[in-house]
Every structure is written in structure tokens, then in C-alpha cells.
């Protein structure tokens, strides 16, 4: 999990970055009907319900209160076919719901009245149904949709080092599924996991600085896009911490690839680091991850994750985030298929 602080003239932006129905996967916007008809439903492996809580505590340690102070908290929402929000409760109740270019939704709070020495706690509680899915890859034939193949910030798919590696990894693969499995195996098996607290991206993951979930996901997306395979970045929480990381944190990042015949399928090279369990995280939704946002750099979060806030002028306040995190617990009425 990463905390980043900026001071720009009289503007202070504080952000926090994290390192976690049986419908067919949603195809890219504008997918032709014949291509959509060729997508097969994944097999449902049951549903589980979780109680998810986001909490954030801010305190004004400054001598005065800013004229403006706004905070945006990314909200857990419906993400077919993976998850459905049964209920949601957000506090303080006075807020506005806004959306970004990826369709992510946020609760926007006006905190301009936060006096010196005062604190405010923001929370969101959800009851979420998560579906485990298995994808059928035996008929990986057909065209790929347009979109989600361009380079972007932290996904440097046009970088010469990445394009050369992508070409090397696709050699010998007779189908897109075979080629992307080679990419997945490379990322999961070659990177050295190290929680870095940075926002380095795909190209940096090829260096010797180590990589955490953001680099694992970013590099696999970049290698897929370099092969013109649509890929998208996902960020959210694990339903239980990845203890292999030696960290109690449950914030996490992974991705989706578009596979012919299967549509959008989730991949998690970070959790697939062990060769013993690697198959479990390729084209499989295990019911162990809850999506919060889509997109590598959502504009509302100004390149960060989960939340951001800004206030001005900066000399009138010193707003500090004292605490932020997720708790995820199984709901009492948990069900399996």
C-alpha cells in the first residue's frame, strides 16, 4: 500500500495507492453481435457473500480550516459477472455520487468545515455476493475486439524492450490462449515479489528493483497489449490477505484479458507466483477478490487508488489521513453452489 503526498502552490493533494449471476463476461463496448454470440458462459463454481467495510479517518492538524476541502472515496459496485452489491451504507450520509471515465463510482464529500483539531471518519459498508467462475479455453479461436490495446501511463506496451519480449513469448503459441498463458507464466515465474510502496509500472518491473501486485498486473497487461490482445487493469481487495507476501494488507491489483471464445477472463500473476497453484489464477475467478475500481490511472483519483482528497489554500490547514483500510468478513448467510 502506498501513500503519496504532493504540494502544488496552494493546492495540497493527498492520495493513497494500494499495492488487492452466471452471465457471460462483458465484451468490449461496440463488440459485433456475431462475436458476442461466440462467447461461452463461464461455469459457475458457487457464490459467496462478504461484508466489506472501508474506513478512512482524517484530522486537521493545521492552524485554520481551508476554504475548500473535498474527498473522493471509490465505491464497491456491481461488476458482472463477478460480483453484485446486495446493500451499501455510506457515512457521512451527505455526499454526492460521481463517476469517472471507466464507470467507477465515488462518494464525493465536502469537508470544508473541518475545524483545527477536528477529525472526520468516512466509512462505507457493503454486503457483496461474489461468484466463482471457471472459463472454458478448449476453443480459443476467433477475432479479438478493438480497444484496450494502447499504451498508457505505467502500461508501456510500445516500449521496445516490452514489444521484443512480447514477440518472444508468443512464439510457439498456436492460439491466443496459448500465447497469453506463456505471458502469464513469464510474469508469475520471473518477477521477484517485493512490496515497494511505489507506482512504477510495467517497464520498471523488468528491472531489478522488485515488483508488487501493481507491477505484476501492469507488466502482463503491457505484454498482452503489445501482442494486440485487449487487457484491462483491476484493483480491489482480497477476501483474505495474501499471506505469502508477508503482509496483513488485503488491497490488491490484477487484470482481465480478452480470450477468443471466452470473452473477458481474470488473471492474477501475483497470486500465481507459486508453480503449485499457478493454474488456479489463470482465466479463473475464484470468488476471493472484490473489484473496487477499473483502470490503471482513473482521473478522479489523479493516478492514485481507492481515495484522494484536495484542499486549499494549503497554509490554512494540515489535513492528515490517520487511518485507511478494508475489512472483509464472510456473511453469516454465505452460500455455495
Give a yes or no: residue 55 inside a domain. yes
CATH label of the domain that carries residue 91: 3.10.620.30
Task: Note the pLDDT of residue 205.
Answer: 92
Count the domains in the chain: 1
Give a yes or no: residue 232 inside a domain. yes
- Kind of pairing, strands 68-74 and 307-312? antiparallel
CA 145/CA 184 separation, integer angstroms? 20
Give a yes or no: residue 265 inside a domain. yes
SS3 325: strand
DSSP 297: S
Q: Which domain holds residue 81?
A: 2-330
Measuring CA to CA, how many Å separate 234 from each of 194, 212, 231, 255? 20, 14, 10, 5
- Pseudo-torsion of CA 172, 175, 178, 183, nearest 10°? 80
Give a yes or no: residue 335 inside a domain. no
Give a yes or no: residue 283 inside a domain. yes
Residue 37 gets the label, from left (phi > 0), alpha (psi -120 to 50) or beta, of alpha
Give a yes or no: residue 172 inside a domain. yes
Give a yes or no: residue 336 inside a domain. no
Q: Is the peptide bond before 152 cis (omega within 30 degrees of 0)?
A: no
Give a yes or no: residue 337 inside a domain. no
CA 83/CA 21 separation, integer angstroms? 8
CA 208/CA 190 separation, integer angstroms? 11
Per-residue pLDDT for the chain (337 aa), expressed as one digit of tens each?
A: 443 333 333 333 333 344 533 333 343 344 567 677 778 889 899 999 999 999 999 999 988 888 899 999 999 999 999 999 999 999 999 999 999 999 999 999 999 989 999 999 999 999 999 999 999 999 899 889 989 999 999 999 999 999 999 999 999 899 999 999 999 999 999 999 988 777 889 999 998 777 999 999 999 999 999 999 999 999 999 987 655 554 446 899 999 999 999 999 999 999 999 999 999 999 999 999 999 999 999 999 987 889 999 988 767 778 999 999 999 999 976 665 5
**Residue 330 phi, psi (nearest 5):** -65, 140
Amino acid at each position: 500500500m502506498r501513500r503519496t503526498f504532493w504540494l502544488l502552490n496552494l493546492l495540497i493533494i493527498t492520495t493513497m495507492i494500494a499495492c488487492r449471476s452466471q452471465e457471460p463476461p462483458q465484451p468490449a463496448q461496440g463488440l459485433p453481435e456475431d462475436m458476442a454470440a461466440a462467447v461461452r458462459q463461464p461455469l459457475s463454481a458457487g457464490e459467496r457473500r462478504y461484508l466489506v467495510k472501508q474506513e478512512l479517518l482524517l484530522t486537521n492538524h493545521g492552524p485554520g480550516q481551508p476554504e475548500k476541502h473535498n474527498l473522493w472515496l471509490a465505491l464497491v459496485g456491481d461488476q458482472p459477472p463477478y460480483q453484485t452489491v446486495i446493500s451499501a451504507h455510506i457515512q457521512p450520509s451527505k455526499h454526492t455520487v460521481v463517476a469517472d471515465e471507466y464507470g467507477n463510482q465515488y462518494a464525493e464529500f465536502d469537508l470544508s468545515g473541518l475545524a483545527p483539531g477536528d477529525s472526520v471518519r468516512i466509512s462505507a459498508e457493503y454486503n457483496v455476493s461474489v461468484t466463482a467462475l471457471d472459463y472454458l479455453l478448449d476453443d480459443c479461436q476467433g477475432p479479438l475486439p478493438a480497444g484496450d490495446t494502447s499504451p498508457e501511463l505505467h502500461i508501456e506496451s510500445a516500449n521496445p524492450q516490452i514489444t521484443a519480449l512480447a514477440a518472444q513469448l508468443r512464439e510457439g503459441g498456436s492460439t491466443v490462449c496459448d500465447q497469453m498463458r506463456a505471458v502469464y507464466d513469464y510474469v508469475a515465474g520471473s518477477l521477484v515479489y517485493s512490496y515497494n510502496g511505489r507506482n512504477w509500472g510495467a517497464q520498471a518491473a523488468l528491472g531489478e528493483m522488485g515488483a508488487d501486485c501493481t507491477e505484476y498486473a501492469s507488466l502482463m497487461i503491457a505484454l498482452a497489449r503489445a501482442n494486440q490482445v485487449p487487457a484491462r487493469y483491476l484493483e480491489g481487495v482480497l477476501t483474505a490477505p495474501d499471506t505469502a507476501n508477508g503482509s496483513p494488507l488485503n488491497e490488491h491489483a490484477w487484470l482481465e484479458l480478452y480470450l477468443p471464445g471466452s470473452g473477458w477472463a481474470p488473471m492474477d500473476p501475483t497470486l500465481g507466483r507459486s508453480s503449485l497453484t499457478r493454474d488456479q489464477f489463470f482465466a479463473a475467478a475464484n470468488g476471493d477478490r472484490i473489484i473496487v475500481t477499473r483502470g490503471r490511472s482513473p482521473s478522479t483519483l489523479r493516478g492514485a487508488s481507492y481515495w484522494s482528497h484536495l484542499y486549499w489554500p494549503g497554509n490554512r490547514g494540515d489535513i492528515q489521513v490517520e487511518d485507511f483500510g478494508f475489512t472483509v468478513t464472510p456473511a453469516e448467510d454465505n452460500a455455495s453452489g
